[in-house]
């Protein structure tokens, strides 16, 4: 069984997050994605910005991490996309499902 990984990826819109999620799903790089709205406050190019964004929380396995990050960077609209890897544990049935969906 592979180690579960959650990828936290911010996006400028819900549509963009959904587009990226579908692309990753189609390539079997992730098993599932959750998308939710957030407010981000950050420093960019010398000023503090406040924006509405959407988080794509993608569920995958460690073995697919490199490929998944590469694909996100290729299709993401941001100059520097936020891709945060979070190691995770889940119940055996769910872990088995994620592993099966990313084979």
**For the chain, how many structural domains are there in total?**
1
In the chain, the N- to C-terminal Cα span, in Å, equals 11
Residues 6 or more apart from 36 whose CB is under 8 A from it? 54, 55, 57
Per-residue pLDDT, 68: 98
Per-residue pLDDT, 67: 97
Per-residue pLDDT, 64: 97
Domain that holds residue 54: 4-101
- CATH number at 75 reads 3.30.70.120
CA separation for the pair 73, 83 (Å, rounded): 9
pLDDT at 93 over 60: yes
Per-residue pLDDT, 1: 56
pLDDT in tens, 22-80: 999 999 999 999 999 999 999 999 999 999 999 999 999 999 999 999 999 999 999 99
Per-residue pLDDT, 2: 76
pLDDT band at 8 (very low <50, low <70, confident <90, very high): very high
**Alpha helices (H) in the chain, listed in sequence order:** 14-26, 65-75, 92-101
């Amino acid at each position: 069984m592979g180690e579960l990984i959650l990828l936290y990826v911010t996006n400028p819109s819900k549509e963009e997050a959904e587009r990226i999620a579908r692309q990753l799903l189609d390539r079997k790089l992730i098993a599932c994605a959750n998308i939710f709205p957030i407010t981000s406050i950050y420093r960019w190019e010398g000023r503090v910005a406040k924006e509405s964004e959407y988080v794509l929380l993608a569920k995958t396995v460690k073995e697919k991490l490199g490929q998944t990050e590469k694909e996100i960077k290729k299709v993401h609209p941001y100059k520097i996309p936020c891709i945060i890897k979070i190691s995770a544990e889940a119940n055996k049935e769910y872990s088995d499902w994620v592993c099966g969906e990313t084979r």
